[in-house]
Amino acid sequence: MPAKLILEDKTIELPIFVGTEGEKAVDVTKLRAETGYVTLDSGYMDTGACTSAITFLDGEQGILKYRGYSIEEIAEKSNFIEASYLVIHGRLPKEDELKKFQAKIASYDDVPQGIKEMIKIFPKDAHPMGILSSNMSALSAYYPDLLVQDLSPEQKETVMAQLMGQLKVMAAYAYRHQQGKEYIKSDKNLDYCSDFIYMMTGNKNVDKEVAKALDILLVLHVDHEQNCSTSTVRMVGSSKANMFATISAGIDALWGPLHGGANQAVLEMLEEIKDSGKGYKDFLAEVKDKNSGSRLMGFGHRVYKNFDPRAKIIKVACDSVLAKLGVQDPLLDIAKGLEEVALKDEYFVSRKLYPNVDFYSGIIYRALGIPTNMFTVMFAMGRLPGWMAQWKEMVEQPGFKICRPRQIYVGETTNKYKDIKSR
């Protein structure tokens, strides 16, 4: 049955679109053409900007699936490279396909010399997300054959593997520059996460549990439906901007503290609690006081109205890493205290303010010795395959067109120009 919309003295029918998981939408594609009206939806909270077969998310039920596979099963049985292949290609790879994909990513184990020099030009206290975004865009200068408007299937395969290899390299180089140390070249004999840790630290003997925890974190970040950065990638990519510029835009969107910067905000909150001299119980009491201005970061989620399914998975890895490393850190003690109390406190439980993936990821990164301003870079590494999968899906869909939202004008209507001397 179509939906019926009454506008003044006119009634029109709007088709109902139902997704494979039962999601329902009113199709307003022809609304303006038939009525002259547009919809107004600030922040696009109730707007379906596209159809997609990549990720399903049910915030009320706490469900997340990649291509129909539950995030719990993918995190337990798969790994980051295979999960990346899944979202990009729409299916799990066969053994030879996975090996080929891994080898192609590993073949991009360095970046052009100009990019290396560009990283060194930045101040050592520059935020690594700014370095990453700039370098991603600058890569376009070195691969002119990938700047054509319509990439061939082979070119798409090349650039997607290339970026997974080179973003990891640029992230590690940005970290080394920040530390005032020389770059460490990638080792193709190591798995993706062990290699990244090696490039950052110089330690080839990476503990398997630690590498696995990082791998799980990346898996959990691979895709998350039409969030701010993914929508940005689709928006910029819809203009047929090259892949480098498109992904750079996604990095910039992710950089924001309301998006990818959330796990950084968790550690900043822990630092504030420590520096204030208050205990975490006093801080939680302040959070309950609406007039205090104190906010509990890393708890609750914009989409999930229940427990973040990713948080359940990463909590296990987090506990394992902390036990394995035996790190003595007052910030981690505060974090564990906050978690323990908030999970039992009726105030937070009744409001379903459970720890989210950003809370646990920040703790793991801290335990691994990764600086706070690198947290969002780690997020970008995990989200990259999702961005590319969303871009690929968009440009290959029938009826592909440039994104062009409408607006409702609320400005002045009758201003008259005045000469500058009479203003």
Residues 178, 219 within the same domain: yes
Mean pLDDT of 406-415: 95
Q: What is the mean pLDDT of residues 366-392?
A: 93
Q: What is the pLDDT of residues 35-74, one digit of tens each?
A: 999 999 999 989 999 999 999 999 888 899 999 999 999 9
Please check whether residues 229 and 125 belong to one and the same domain. Answer: yes
93 and 54 co-located in one domain: no
Where residue 356 falls among pLDDT bands split at 50, 70, 90? confident
Could you give the CA distance from residue 132 to residue 159 in angstroms, rounded to a whole number? 17
Determine which one of 215, 223, 308, 358 is catalytic: 358
301 noted as active-site residue: yes
Instruction: Clarify whether 223 is annotated catalytic.
Output: no
Q: Structural domain of residue 319, as residue ranges?
A: 262-367
- Confidence (pLDDT) at 320: 84
Within a domain: 54: yes
- Would you place residue 262 in the very low, low, confident or very high pLDDT band (cuts 50, 70, 90)? confident
Q: Write the CA distances from 41 to 49, 234, 345, 410, integer angstroms.
A: 11, 19, 35, 15
Q: Assess whether 244 and 295 both reside in one domain.
A: no
423 in a domain, yes or no?
no
Same domain, 76 and 211: yes
Averaged pLDDT score across all residues of the chain: 92
Reported pTM: 0.91
Whether residue 411 lies inside any domain: the answer is no
pLDDT tens digits, one per residue of 314-351:
888 888 888 888 877 788 788 888 888 888 889 988 88
Question: Does residue 403 belong to any structural domain of this protein?
Answer: no
The domain total for the chain is 3
In this structure, what CATH number is given to the domain that contains residue 303? 1.10.230.10
**Which segment of 213-227, 247-261, 354-368 scores lowest on mean pLDDT?**
354-368
> Quick one: 238 and 149 in the same domain?
yes
Most confident of 217-231, 266-280, 363-377: 217-231
The gap between the terminal CA atoms of the chain, to the nearest Å, is 58
Which CATH number do you get for residue 191? Answer: 1.10.580.10
Mean pLDDT, residues 187-213 taken together = 92
Q: Among 46, 63, 80, give the residue marking a domain's end.
A: 63
Would you say residue 213 lies in a domain? Answer: yes
pLDDT tens-digit profile of 72-102? Answer: 999 999 999 999 999 999 999 999 999 999 9
Question: Residues 222, 330: one domain?
Answer: no
Average pLDDT over residues 194-200: 95
Q: How far apart are CA 254 and CA 261, in angstroms?
A: 7
Of the candidates 177, 224, 301, 308, the residue annotated as catalytic is 301
pLDDT, average across residues 354-359: 83
User: Is 414 part of any domain?
Assistant: no
pLDDT band at 260 (very low <50, low <70, confident <90, very high): confident
pLDDT, position 411: 97
Query: Of 146-155, 264-273, 358-367, which has the strongest mean pLDDT?
Result: 146-155
**Same domain membership, residue 94 and residue 26:** no
Q: Is residue 401 part of a domain?
A: no
pLDDT at site 362: 83
Residues 89 and 212 in one domain: yes
The answer to whether residue 416 sits within a structural domain is: no
Question: Do 348 and 362 belong to one domain?
Answer: yes
Residue 299 has pLDDT above 90, yes or no: no
Q: Is the pLDDT at 307 greater than 80, yes or no?
A: no
Same domain, 126 and 222: yes
Please state, in angstroms and as integers, the Cα–Cα distance from residue 12 to each residue in 2, 3, 7, 43, 325, following that order. Answer: 10, 8, 8, 26, 64
Domain check: are 297 and 161 in the same one? no
